Structure 1
Amino acid sequence: MLRNREIRFVLMLMCTVSLIVLAEAAFFSSVSVVFVLITSVLLIGCSLVFTRLRYLEVEKLSSYLRQISSGNYSLDVRDNREGEFSILKNTIYKVTVMLSEQRTLLQKDKIYLTDAISDISHQLKTPLTSMMVMADLLDDTKLPEAKRKEFTRNIRIQLERLDWLVSSLLKLSKIDAGTVQFKKDQVLVAELIHKALQPVLIPIDIKEQTISITGEDNVSFVGDLNWTTEAVINILKNSVEHTYEGGTIVISFSENLLYTEIVIKDNGKGIPKEEIPFIFKRFHKGKGAGESSIGIGLSMVHSIIMKQNGTIEVQSELHKGTQFQIRFYKQIV
């Protein structure tokens, strides 16, 4: 304790004051000197004991903080008594809990990042391996022209798939990182649906499917037209892919005081009940997914809608169809 400069200073000050008082008491009587001496010793002793106890508390807190810095967050230093030390202990405990929660979140992020890298590597490996094999075969000068065209076409398809995968992953990473600034424009749902249908009109025509759209032209919500269009396109692609030839896709939208609702329903293959909780999970591929499916489209749909104060729910039954219900809730002021 005496290694602390402030303690030495206070001790010297008290001793100096005691000596001055003793010197003054000597002018009166020896009894006064004894009385002053005993009083000074008791006061200095009490002060040292009190200071020692305070420094023991400080030492305990120092030990506690050292254990926290080494990664031990299980200790509880809370003190329900009144006083500055109790407030300090409770504050340190709150910081400890916060650090523990942040550490848990960081650990989850590391696991998530590891899994994501593993999934991405797996998704990239398949088309790259396929292209490498076909590229080796194209080196064969005796390869028939028909096969050469077929391999070239397959390489182009795989490259398009890789381009879409990388583009989607970049979009998802931006959304997850919070770097995407979603606009807050007044979006007309009729315009949104019209824009989202353009990329899927040819597949719909090829499969001779029927599109039915119902809703008022003035139905709208506050959001980002381009990003929401991206989400709706992915839902429509999913519906077209899993709806039989000659099937029907019904799109309806409405608005009330609480939310704007968009419903996309098909009469296609449907989703097994046990798979519904996982369809928005990244890289999840259902049993009925096509070979070209990567399992990232619906994950991006979920992220885009949730970031715009919205929700998305799925109802499905095997061989009877699937319904996606999107709701954009209005901001309450």
Structure 2
Amino acid sequence: MINKITLKLGLWFFFVMIMIEVCLFFVLHTGLVESRVEEELQALLARGNSHREVLEDSYNKETLHHIALMELKANTEVIITDHEQRMIISSSKVDSEEQKVVSKKLRNVPRNGKILERRWENEPYIATVSPYLTSGHQSGYVYMFKSTDQIQGLISKLNEHFLFAAALTMALLIVTVLFLSKALTTPLIQMKRATEKLSKGDFSVRLPGRGEDELGELSRSITVLAQDLKHLKEERNEFLSSISHELRTPLTYIKGYADVARRKNITEKERGQYLNIIYEESEKLSTMMEDLFNLAKLDRNAFVIDLTRIELSSYITAICKKMLPAFQEKKMNLECEGSEHIEVMIDPLRFEQILINLLDNAIKYSAPHTKTSIWAEREKGKVLISIKDEGTGIPKEDIPFIFDRFYRVDKSRSRNLGGTGLGLSIVKELVEAHGGQIEIKSERQKGTLFLIWLEEAIE
């Protein structure tokens, strides 16, 4: 079954090529015919001029008869006249058409002769005339005739060759058009079917590579799109599964302990404990909803980043002072470095959220009497902010997924510590919103290093 696009493209190619071929054949045929007729006329004129030379060299009866005898055996005819155009001799019987040509009054015939009749399509003869002189005076004319039947026969053979060439060209054209249209439309049809599958939610699309042209690029783009959509679908499903699980846990605690707290046979102390648990779970739920709200705004680029020129060393020092009591409470050390004068364009409130989140992780996952360091420096033409702790670290296999939403290395421990699994996702989104990049290096039981790369503010 021929597809619509294949048929349309094939017909379009066919008709365009047919028009081009017809124009080319017409021009070529016309040029060849005119050239061939012109060759016959010039040959006839040259033959007449040759007879004139013979007559001028030796004008006598023998020469006249000799010329007539030569043309009798040729496919041309000759008529020799005097200067009054009275016929002296001819190579064959003169018919009425030849008589008409000979009887035409001649004026100013050049020395090299003149073509008298060139209308080969509708006249029986083509004709030329060459004047000859004897003793320096005009003595007469040599008329040459050639039947147009011979020319038409040549043209007919030429037409046959052209018809054969046209038929062969047509056959080759049809085969070529079918092949080209099929070759061009096959990948387009495959891409159409692939996009139909994508529109129906089937992302198992794999298109073959097709070179480095535009079709190849389009094919690869559709394949990449299918993979991205598949990944997004999986991420969405995983996200919905994770969020339903994360929401279910605190809601279950809240509902369960609320039911217990409503009982009349429990003490006020027990009721207070249950209410505290409900409050804590509500706080976790509120934090999670806030994180989800922030991520949603980042996803739709609705998160406002108000960039301000900030001197980084003093900015980091202020944050360290704010976080120091939390480190001291857990008997941990916090060191800040960055004596260099470095200025960056950041949103102070949003970037503080980044640093506090990372420092808070260091508190949660580090043991007492360990050290956490934060410093800023110039490196490789950019500004590098480093946060290093001496905590439990992250297994190598978990590092590629650490910034994924709801991803936890140790789910049970994270939940006990109050984490939502969204903090590092928000950190990554906020860093990228500032035009920066974040990297992580970690080793189990040896601590974790976060690296944030930013552009330095130029004066």
Establish whether TM, by shorter chain, passes 0.5. yes
RMSD: 4.0
1:233 aligned residue (338, 356, 374): 356
Q: For 1:41-83, what per-residue CA distance to the aligned partner results, in whole angstroms no more than 9, with x for missing partners? A: 23531442243134211133223321222227544555xxxxx
- Please report how far the alpha carbon of residue 276 of structure 1 lies from its aligned counterpart in structure 2 after TM superposition: 6.2
User: Sequence identity, in percent?
Assistant: 18
1:147-296 → structure 2 map (5 Å cutoff): 147-176=270-299, 180=303, 182-194=305-317, 196-197=319-320, 200=323, 203-216=326-339, 218-245=341-368, 247-255=370-378, 258-267=381-390, 269-271=391-393, 273-274=395-396, 277=399, 278-287=401-410, 289=414, 291=416, 292-296=418-422
- Please report how far the alpha carbon of residue 132 of structure 1 lies from its aligned counterpart in structure 2 after TM superposition: 1.9
CA spacing shift, 1:311–1:274, aligned 2, 3 Å? closer
The answer for the alignment partner of 1:304 in structure 2 is 430
The answer for the alignment partner of 1:313 in structure 2 is 440
Q: Which has the higher contact order (CA 8 A, sep 6+)?
A: 1
Give the Cα separation in 2 of the matches to 1:43 and 1:90: 34
- Please report how far the alpha carbon of residue 197 of structure 1 lies from its aligned counterpart in structure 2 after TM superposition: 4.6
Moved more, 165-174 or 116-125: 165-174
Aligned residues: 316
Q: For 1:228-252, what per-residue CA distance to the aligned partner results, in whole angstroms no more than 9, with x for missing partners? A: 2111011111122234446544333
Amino acid at match of 1:310: Q
The answer for the alignment partner of 1:49 in structure 2 is 171
Amino acid at match of 1:254: E
1:34 aligned residue (153, 156, 178): 156
The answer for the alignment partner of 1:85 in structure 2 is none
8 Å contact kept, 1:168–1:296:
yes
CA spacing shift, 1:216–1:235, aligned 2, 3 Å? same
CA spacing shift, 1:197–1:166, aligned 2, 3 Å? farther
1:6-25 → structure 2 map (5 Å cutoff): 7=15, 10=19, 25=121
Q: Is 1:121 the equivalent of 2:248?
A: no
Structure 1 residue ranges (4+ consecutive) displaced by more than 6 angstroms after TM superposition? none
CA spacing shift, 1:60–1:228, aligned 2, 3 Å? same
TM-score (norm: length of structure 2): 0.57
Give the Cα separation in 2 of the matches to 1:327 and 1:67: 43
The answer for the alignment partner of 1:324 in structure 2 is 450
Give the Cα separation in 2 of the matches to 1:227 and 1:241: 21
8 Å contact kept, 1:185–1:223:
yes
Report SS of the residue matched to 1:62.
helix
8 Å contact kept, 1:312–1:324:
yes
CA spacing shift, 1:26–1:152, aligned 2, 3 Å? farther
- Please report how far the alpha carbon of residue 94 of structure 1 lies from its aligned counterpart in structure 2 after TM superposition: 2.5
Report SS of the residue matched to 1:70.
helix
Amino acid at match of 1:282: R
Give the Cα separation in 2 of the matches to 1:321 and 1:119: 27
Give the Cα separation in 2 of the matches to 1:158 and 1:197: 29
Give the Cα separation in 2 of the matches to 1:290 and 1:52: 72
TM-score (norm: length of structure 1): 0.75
Give the Cα separation in 1 of the matches to 2:408 and 2:188: 47
Amino acid at match of 2:430: I
Q: For 1:233-272, what per-residue CA distance to the aligned partner results, in whole angstroms no more than 9, with x for missing partners? A: 11111122234446544333334672333333444x4325
Structure 2 gap segments, 5+ residues each? 1-6, 34-119, 124-147, 195-204
CA spacing shift, 1:251–1:37, aligned 2, 3 Å? closer
CA spacing shift, 1:224–1:59, aligned 2, 3 Å? same
Report SS of the residue matched to 1:129.
helix
- Please report how far the alpha carbon of residue 142 of structure 1 lies from its aligned counterpart in structure 2 after TM superposition: 3.5
- Please report how far the alpha carbon of residue 194 of structure 1 lies from its aligned counterpart in structure 2 after TM superposition: 5.0
Give the Cα separation in 1 of the matches to 2:217 and 2:371: 57
Report SS of the residue matched to 1:282.
coil
Report SS of the residue matched to 2:383.
strand
Structure whose alpha-carbon radius of gyration is higher:
2
1:140 aligned residue (257, 263, 266): 263
Amino acid at match of 2:167: G
